[in-house]
Amino acid sequence: MATFDFSHAVLNWFDQHGRKNLPWQQHISPYRVWVSEVMLQQTQVSTVIPYFERFIAAFPNIQTLAKAKEDDVLHLWTGLGYYARARNLHKMAQIIHQQYANEFPTTQEELQSLPGIGRSTAGAILSLSMQQRAPILDGNVKRVLSRFNAIEGWSGHSKTLTALWQLADELTPQQRVADYTQAMMDLGATLCSRSQPACQRCPLQQHCRAYQTDSVKNYPQGKPRKTIPTRDAFFLILHNEAGEVLLEKRPPQGIWGGLWSLPQHEKKEPLIEQLEHQLQGPIQLIETLPVRRHTFSHFHLNIHPLIASISNAPAQVMADNKRNWHHPQQLTGIGLATPIKALLNSLAALSN
């Protein structure tokens, strides 16, 4: 019996059924591949497409992204989540612009030394845009390989991850590496999906260990469950006499890093007292809105919105521009935390 040629089967399937018209597959360059790969981390293709198109329209190359303001970058990222990705994109663009004369490094080691670039993203850049043989292991590929070899354990465990990388490397061919890389991502996204895999149409079906043992849905094995804690925070929607809302720029690191948000505190009274001291005027609490919940990867946040007003507030709130007044209907051009944007938009809609 002939040995099964994994890459040959995958490439034959790709030639007939693979995706070839995605925006980042046109005018292929390291820059376009890099932006798309970062956006696609933990985000579906259908969600990414309009973001990618807007981002590339605003920043068509590494120079324009490197010279952009962080606020402009974060604004175009608003809604995609995991904002550290956007900040790292901006940082890496500046490094490539300044240290590499706008040319992407051409080795795995150099690429992985840059902010936000892991082994799989580096492999995608090398294989898809430079035709270099470099394995990848994004979520889709992990799922295909986990099922094909019935690999036990959560991929976050080093033993499981090592086994997956070894298999990915062994199966990556020497030829047609760009097509193979795209094919593996497509296979995981379209056939070997998480909840309803289309095994009957899969080119790997007869040699897939999970399929042979009727255990496809058992792979890949998930992260061990743990209880997600819940936190509460009060967010103050403070209006001045001009109808503007006070917004604060969050620190670069941590939740919503670098984005604009509302003043917040775990308790209501300290939040109001601090702002009264800083703005040198009494704050009048007008209304307490219903609680909203936003879930992060590691905790739930209960948002308690408070509407308030202040008279004779200073126009210049902070000398370093970390806190400013903004009209709630003119919030374009700044990066806003998604639940805060939704809250302000809902209030603006009610006032119309």
DSSP label of 290? P
Contacting residues for 71 by C-beta, under 8 A, at least 6 apart: 260, 333, 334, 335
Nearest to 230 by CA among 166, 188, 291, 284: 291
* Residue in the block written with tokens 């775990």: 266
3-state secondary structure of 106: coil
Answer yes or no: 37 catalytic.
yes
Prior bond of 220 cis (ω within 30°): yes
Residue pair 311/54 in contact (Cβ under 8 Å)? The answer is no
Identify which of 211, 213, 144, 207 has the alpha carbon closest to the alpha carbon of residue 2. Answer: 207
Pick the catalytic residue from 37, 53, 266, 287: 37
Q: Are 7 and 172 in contact (CB under 8 A)?
A: yes
Paired with 181 in beta bridges are: none
Q: Which residues are the active-site residues?
A: 37
